[in-house]
Amino acid sequence: MSYQVNLPKTVQKQLNTLPQELKQRILKTLVQLQEEPRPVNSLQMKGGQGFRLRIGDYRVLYDIDDGNKIVNLRRIGHRREIYRDL
């Protein structure tokens, strides 16, 4: 069963600041999250604070609402900066 990927405006802004080639790689991965919200290369973050996907030097942080079949994106950014202010 397919999940809906929720892309808030803040995450959309983060995505729009990235180079076009990287943006396309991330968007392709986000489409794949609709079918498999827990892909093999995703890791559950410590403390049960959601999941992390690695795409090169960039990370996508997200939560999964299995009851409503929704993937809520929280942040997209470079690995050096993504975990600040969590």
Judge contact between 27 and 61, C-beta under 8 A.
no
Q: Name the one residue in this structure whose structure tokens are 């990927």.
A: 5
Span 17-37, average pLDDT: 95
Domain boundaries, the chain: 4-78
User: Cα dist. 3→7, 34, 82 in Å?
Assistant: 13, 5, 24
Over residues 23-50, mean pLDDT: 92
Q: Which fold has domain 4-78?
A: YaeB-like fold (3.30.2310)
Q: How confident is the model at residue 28 (pLDDT cuts 50, 70, 90)?
A: very high
E strand or H helix that includes residue 35 = helix 20-35
Write the pLDDT tens digit of every residue in 39-70: 999 999 987 789 999 999 999 999 999 999 99
Would you state the pLDDT for residue 46? 86
pLDDT band at 20 (very low <50, low <70, confident <90, very high): very high
